[in-house]
Structure 1
Amino acid sequence: MKKNQGQSRLSRRDFLATTAASFAAAGLMGAGCGNGLRNPFAKRTIPVGVQLYSVRAECAKDLPGTVAKVAAMGYDGVEFAGYYDYSAKDLRKILDDNGLKCCGTHTQMDTLSDANLAATIEFNKTLGNRYLIVPWLQPNDANPKQTWLGYARRFNELAEKVSVHGMVVGYHCHAHDFHAINGEVPWDILFGNTGKHVVMQMDTGNCMDGGGDPVEYLRKYPARSLTVHLKEHSKTNKNAILGEGDVPWNEVFTVCETIGGTEWYIVEEEKDVYPPLEAIELCLKNYRKLRA
Structure 2
Amino acid sequence: MEPKIALQLWSVQAEAKADLCGLLPKVKAWGYEGVEFAGYHGQDPEALRAALLACDLAVAASHIPFSQLRDHLAEVLAYERIIGNRRIVCPYFEFSADNWPTEIAQLQKLKQAVQAQGFEFYYHNHAHELTAVPGVDVLQELARAGVQLEADLYWLEYAGVPAINWLSEQEERVGLLHLKDMAKESRQSTLIGAGKLPLPDYVAFAQQQEIPWLIVEQEAFSEVSPVVAAEQNVKNLQKMFPKKVPY
TM-score by length of 1: 0.76
For residue 125 of structure 1, what is the aligned residue in structure 2?
Answer: 81
Assess if the C-alpha contact under 8 Å between 1:145 and 1:186 holds in 2: no
Secondary structure of 2:218 counterpart: coil
Amino acid at match of 1:252: Y
In the alignment, the residues of structure 1 paired with residue 211 and residue 189 of structure 2 have an alpha-carbon distance, to the nearest angstrom, of: 27
Structure 2's unaligned 5+ residue stretches are: none
Which of 1 and 2 has greater Rg?
Answer: 1
Which of 31, 37, 51 is residue 94 of structure 1 equivalent to?
51
Is 1:137 matched up with 2:63?
Answer: no
Which residue pairs with 2:30 in the alignment?
73
Q: Number of aligned pairs?
A: 240
1:156 to 108, 127, 132: 108
Higher RCO (CA-CA < 8 Å; seq separation 6+)? 2
Kindly indicate whether residue 13 of structure 2 is the aligned counterpart of residue 56 of structure 1: yes
Bigger mean CA deviation after superposition, 249-258 or 230-239: 230-239
Partner of 2:3: 46
Distance 1:130 1:62 in 2: 23
Q: Is the 8 A contact 1:89 1:127 kept in 2?
A: yes
Q: Write the distance in 1 (CA, Å) between the matches of 2:62 and 2:98.
A: 27
- Percent identity reads 29
Q: Deviations over 1:103-150 (max 9, x none)?
A: 11111111221x41111111111111111111111124xxx252x322
Letter in 2 for 1:206: W
Amino acid in the other structure paired with 1:184: V
Decide which of 222, 236, 246 is 1:286's aligned counterpart. 236
Pick the structure with more strand per residue: 2
SS of 2:181's partner is: coil
In the other structure, the counterpart of 1:277 is 227
SS of 2:149 mapped into structure 1: strand
Aligned partner (choices 114, 126, 133) of residue 174 of structure 1: 126
Normalised by the length of structure 2, the TM-score is 0.89
Question: Gapped runs of 5+ residues in structure 1?
Answer: 1-43
